[in-house]
Every structure is written in C-alpha cells, then in structure tokens.
C-alpha cells in the first residue's frame, strides 16, 4: 500500500504527524500511525516537517557565491551602481558557474522553487538569460526556476531593451520585468505600454521592481493595477519591493490595497534592512497576496545573504514586529505557499496527493522554527532523502539510497 512511511514527525501545529508515501506522493498525512505493512519505516524522532521553501525573488546572475569575496563599494547614484556592477561581473567567474553554486546552496537549505530576475539590456543582450537557463537545465527536476527578463538599466531610457525583452520572452523567459517607470525611465506610460504589451503578446507574466517612494510610488501602483485589469492579467502581475506602501498612511494603504486586490496584483517584499517596506498584515487582510524572497545575495548591491528562506522568514517577522504564533506563520506562508502560488508551482505542499517533498528541522512547531531559524536541515524529495546530512540519524540502516548528488 505504501512505499515508505515517515513516523513520529511533528506538524506545523506541534501535533504528531505521520506521512505515508507511494510513488513519490503523499497518500496519507495523519496524527495516527498507519498500518505500514511491508513499507519502509523512517522514525523522524519528533522533528518538525515543513513544505519546501519558495524564493519569490532572487538574482542568480548577480551573486558572487562560487567566486571570491568582493568588498562592497559605495555608489552615489543608481547609474554609478549599475556601472560598478557591470565592471565587477566582467571579472567574475562565469554566470552559469556562480548561478549553479547559488542554486546548490539554497537547495541545501530546503528551497525547492524560485523566481529569478535576470538582467536583460542593450549591453548584455540575452547572455545572462542564456547562462542562467543553462544552470536551470542542470537542476531541472530538483529546482523549479521561473525566469524574469529584468530591464535593470531601464526600458525606454535604454534603447534596444524593449526588443530584447520581447526576444527573451520568446526564448524562454516566463515573466517580463519592469523597473521604476518614472524615476528611471521618465516615461511611466511608455514603459508600461511595452511591458504589458509583451506580456499580452507572449502570454508571460509581469514582475515590476518598484522602488519609487511616497505618493509617486502609490500612483504607480494604481496605474499598474488599472492596467492589469484592463489587460485581463488578474493574478499574473507582481510588484517587487513597493517601498511606497511603507511610506504612506494606513488610510492610503487601504485604498491602494483594495485596488491591488481587485486586480490580483501580488506584492513581494524581502524586508530590506535600511528602509520602510509594505505593511504585510494590512495588505493580506485586504486580500492582497504578499510573498517573499531573498533578493540580492552577496553581490555588488549588498554583501549580505546566504539564500536561506527560513532565515528570511525570521527577518520578515523580526522587522514587521511579528510576535504571536499566528503572525510568525504569516512569515512562513510568505516563504512557502504564497510564493508557490505566484510562480504557479503545482503538486506542492503537505497535502494528500501532492509530491512528497519537504524539509525536516528541529523545532516544536512551525512558529518556533520561524523565530529561531534552526540551521540544521534534512531535505526529502519525492519521499527520498536528498544530500548527505540525512544519513546521520534518520536513514533506515537496511536501505541506504545511492550516493547523493544533483540527482540523489
């Protein structure tokens, strides 16, 4: 009846949980231990099980992981930062190599899906996209990677980028990006015409970086919500960062939240350390999907980050003043279910019928796991242990799978 049964686990609520698996999928999740018959039994010894993490915003082409450490350099303007980044990347290890190193690291923490923004502009062309696609192919079947064609240098203000964004969508990018339509491009309608036009033409989603502050940023969000509804793209548009939502009054947030919810526009925040950010609970209460990601990891933009989405959930809760178990679970949802919904990951989560992939950590419940972000992880993919760590305590001695690796 079952291939393998994980017994004596702990569920998110702190209650006992037993997980029965057949053909790599959950057949049963219950507090009572099922009749195991001839199935292989693994005792998880009271450890907590969580769904695999989803990084809703990462830059695989930018990180220096897999290369040497590079001290952060101060830049006075955005254009100066972009120039410094290009110079640093020109002397770095190949993108595919660095992307592979970052994917490997986040996978070791339990991330199983991500949305990666990849620079596309007139100077880089599609070289970054092709390199990250190479890394994605290597991890196919183990990491779901949705790619965003990201116009870091602008769309209207960077001649040729519009055509490249269209080409990127044609060649395999799943999402078309945008960035600060007014402050960077100086032409909000022009940029959004291009971005929404490509999305409709190519059938891809949209994810717009929005750093614009205060009233201008809120105006931009209203513009994006209106265009989303007019284009019939409800549920397919996200705005990353949306700092303006942290700059304005609760009444202003309420008005724009209603517009975002009606348009099905999602908001991504990584709880940045140096400025205000969207009020997560107010947006969620209004019906806006809010998800999270690591954003930049040890690159030219900042030196921080290791790619751990459970740690990111802790930082989201810490910066948001989340203290209750209910609030801590919101931070976890942003790093799991909400992100999975945005990128369209199917067969996901601790539910009967879904793929039996999950993360095992030492914690009494899910809220405690968010608060402490324990470092030790055991990864299970399709009912089988992945990586070397699980052998130490959970692997049945009579049935050790083949040596681990990319396809372990």
Whether residue 403 is predicted with pLDDT greater than 50 in this model: the reply is: no
Q: Exposed, middle or buried by CB within 10 Å (0-12, 13-18, 19+), for 353?
A: exposed
CA gap 54, 149 in Å, rounded: 19
Give the C-alpha distances (Å, rounded to integers) separating 178 from 12, 191, 310, 408.
Answer: 37, 7, 28, 37
| 138-155 residue pLDDT tens | 999 999 999 999 999 999
Q: Reply yes or no on whether the pLDDT at 247 is more than 90.
A: yes
Is 35 or 312 the better-scoring residue by pLDDT? 312
User: Which helix (DSSP H) or strand (DSSP E) does residue 53 occupy?
Assistant: strand 53-58
pLDDT at 391 over 70: no
Please state the pTM of the whole predicted model. 0.94
pLDDT top residue among 274 and 209: 209
User: What pLDDT does 36 receive?
Assistant: 85
What pLDDT score was predicted for residue 399? 44
290 by DSSP, 3-state: which?
Answer: strand
Three-class SS state of 265 = strand
Residue with tokens 């948001």: 320
Q: How many CB atoms lie within 10 A of CB 332?
A: 25
Q: How far is CA 189 from the centre of its chain?
A: 28
Domains and CATH numbers, the chain: 4-52+349-392 (2.30.40.10), 54-343 (3.20.20.140)
Residue that is written with structure tokens 């209750």 in the block = 324
| Per-residue tokens: 221 | 């969000």
Q: Whole-angstrom Cα distance, residue 217 to residue 182?
A: 9
Residues 67-108: tens digit of each pLDDT: 999 899 888 887 888 888 888 888 899 999 999 999 999 999
According to DSSP, residue 401 is labeled P
Residue 236 confidence (pLDDT) above 80: yes
**Contact predicate 303/72, CB 8 Å:** yes
Tell me: pLDDT of 405 over 60: no
Q: Is the pLDDT of residue 14 over 70?
A: yes
The closest alpha carbon to 284, from 331, 251, 235, belongs to 331
Assess whether pLDDT exceeds 80 at residue 390.
no
Condensed to tens digits (0 to 9), the pLDDT of residues 332-346 reads 999 999 999 999 999
């Amino acid at each position: 009846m079952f291939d393998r049964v994980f017994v004596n686990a702990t569920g998110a609520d702190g209650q006992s949980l037993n997980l029965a698996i057949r053909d790599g999928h959950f057949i049963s999740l219950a507090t009572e231990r099922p009749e195991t018959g001839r199935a292989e039994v693994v005792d998880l010894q009271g450890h907590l099980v969580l769904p695999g993490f989803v990084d809703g915003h990462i830059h695989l082409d930018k990180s220096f992981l897999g290369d040497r450490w590079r001290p952060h350099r101060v830049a006075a303007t955005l254009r100066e930062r972009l120039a410094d980044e290009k110079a640093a990347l020109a002397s770095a290890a190949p993108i595919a190599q660095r992307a592979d190193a970052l994917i490997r690291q986040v996978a070791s923490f339990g991330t199983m899906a991500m949305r990666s923004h990849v620079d596309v502009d007139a100077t880089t062309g599609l070289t970054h996209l092709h390199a990250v696609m190479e890394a994605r192919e290597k991890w196919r079947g183990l990491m779901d990677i949705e790619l965003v064609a990201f116009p870091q240098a602008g769309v209207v203000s960077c001649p040729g980028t519009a055509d490249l964004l269209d080409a990127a969508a044609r060649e395999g990018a799943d999402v078309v990006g945008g960035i600060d339509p007014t402050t960077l491009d100086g032409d909000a309608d022009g940029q959004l015409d291009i971005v929404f036009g490509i999305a409709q033409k190519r059938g891809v989603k949209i994810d717009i970086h929005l750093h614009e502050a205060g009233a201008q940023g809120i105006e931009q969000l209203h513009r994006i919500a209106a265009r989303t509804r007019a284009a019939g793209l409800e549920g397919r548009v996200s705005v990353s960062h949306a700092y303006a939502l942290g700059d304005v009054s609760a009444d202003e947030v309420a008005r724009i939240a209603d517009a975002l919810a009606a348009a099905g526009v999602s908001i991504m925040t990584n709880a940045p350390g140096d400025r205000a950010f969207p009020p997560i609970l107010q947006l969620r209460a209004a019906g806006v999907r809010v998800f999270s990601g690591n954003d930049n990891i040890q690159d030219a933009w900042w030196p921080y980050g290791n790619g751990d989405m459970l740690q990111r959930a802790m930082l989201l809760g810490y910066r948001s003043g989340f203290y209750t178990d209910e609030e801590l679970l919101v931070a976890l949802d942003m790093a799991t279910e909400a992100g999975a919904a945005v990128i369209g990951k199917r067969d996901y989560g601790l539910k009967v019928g879904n793929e039996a992939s999950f993360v095992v950590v030492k914690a009494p419940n899910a809220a405690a796991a968010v608060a402490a972000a324990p470092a030790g992880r055991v990864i299970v993919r399709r009912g089988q242990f992945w990586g070397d760590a699980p052998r130490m305590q959970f692997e049945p001695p009579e049935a050790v799978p083949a040596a681990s690796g990319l396809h372990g």
